[in-house]
Amino acid sequence: MPFCKNCGIAVNSEAKYCPNCGTEVFVSSKSVQQQFQPQGTASETWQSRRSIVGAYAGVADRFVAQLIDWLILGVVSALLALPLGLAALIGNPFGLVFAAPAYAAFTSVVGLVMPLSYFSYFESATGQTIGKSVMSIKVVDQANGSRIDFLRAVVRNVLRIVDFLPVFYIIGAILVLSTDKKQRIGDYAAGSVVVKMS
């Protein structure tokens, strides 16, 4: 059975990251377990293990990753909306009565569906969006460090709306700064954590 090299707890043999501290798991020797044998009471040992949180991604890493992802989404959205936007802007010289309403509907759908699809697909497929990859952070299951499935990624990203409130991810940032595992509401609901890659 593998043990976390950082906090010493036993982890699931399929886990890639420690569910306690978020450290990448690749050590599976008994020497690590012996190194972390309780020296005090069970309660003291549990508290010391719970306090090791160094490998969870903080607000700064997550913010820069989000900025990169939203810049990419903005460019792609603009390129997709350009033909309809030009038709609506030019005043419809081709007699396309639907151009302005179609443009409004298209941009509304793109504004909701594309980010949800982008974040959910990448976080379930690899655990990393392009921004997270650049920042070397990854979304994983908080219980065993494996990838989250697509449905959990969708839940995590739908709740991004709540984390964004009132503006600029204030609620999400407060939660990431104040919780042991640096989780926002979407992470709690999906049972996920964001960890730093080593």
> Mind listing the pLDDT tens digit for each residue in 41-83?
444 333 333 332 348 999 999 999 999 999 999 999 888 878 7
Question: pLDDT (tens digit, 9 = 90+) per residue, 145-190?
Answer: 899 999 999 999 999 999 888 888 899 999 999 999 999 999 999 9
Query: How do residues 9-20 score in pLDDT, each as one tens digit?
Result: 667 777 777 777
Q: Which residue has the higher pLDDT, 90 or 99?
A: 90
The enclosing H or E element of 194 equals strand 192-196
